[in-house]
Amino acid sequence: MPVNGPHTTSRREGFTLSELLVSAFLMAMLLAIVTGGFRIGINAAKGCGKQVDYTAKGRAAAQKLSRYIEAGQVCAIAPASNGVDVLVGLVSSRIAYVADYDGNASTTNDGALVYYPSSLSTNGGVIICTPVSPIAGAAMFRINPAAPSSVSFVFTLGDRTNATDASRGSISGTGYQGIDVRISATPRNMKRWYSYE
């Protein structure tokens, strides 16, 4: 026999407060993870962009250095190993490392490789690349003993603030950003003897 009156089965409509709090917490965690992932991706893209920029600058610097050396007839390490002298005809030019190019001791990352048309003057210098710093334990300029007219360049191109900094694990944020450049060049125009028949 049917019972007249209110239904004895209860129906729930909506959510309890504890269910709302748990779901809000889970949504907040999911949003934090997604936002953090985007932030990491953006920082990595910026770091990779800087590396690509330094790679392009390093390639351009290597081409300029090779061009200056190949135009010469002979190369010699300059006094105090701060540069390379290149003899072109009767004119001696110099490629030198200037540790504080802007002359302001409070700034960092302002080392530069500079081409001077005359090895006797520091006027009219042309910047080959910047920011440059030496690599710890490696000579920046070296004449190859097996080929005395060949010169090697070894330096870091990047935003390393300390030449001994070895923290290279991060591609974004603080730490090492840049590339190590190692090239060798030989003058093409060395004096040669030709015989004409």
Q: How far apart are CA 79 and CA 143, in angstroms?
A: 13
Res 120: pLDDT? 80
Residue type, 137: G
Q: How far is CA 20 from the centre of its chain?
A: 50
The pLDDT score that the predictor gives to residue 170 is: 44
d(CA 197, CA 184) in angstroms, rounded, equals 35
User: pLDDT 10s digit of each residue in the chain, 197 long?
Assistant: 555 655 556 666 788 889 889 999 999 999 999 988 888 877 666 667 777 888 889 999 999 988 888 887 777 766 456 788 887 777 788 888 888 777 776 666 678 899 988 888 888 888 998 888 888 888 888 887 777 678 888 888 886 654 444 444 444 445 567 888 888 888 876 554 444 44
The pLDDT value recorded for residue 27 is 93
pTM over 0.85: no
Bridge partners, 74 (sequence order): 87
pLDDT of residue 190: 58
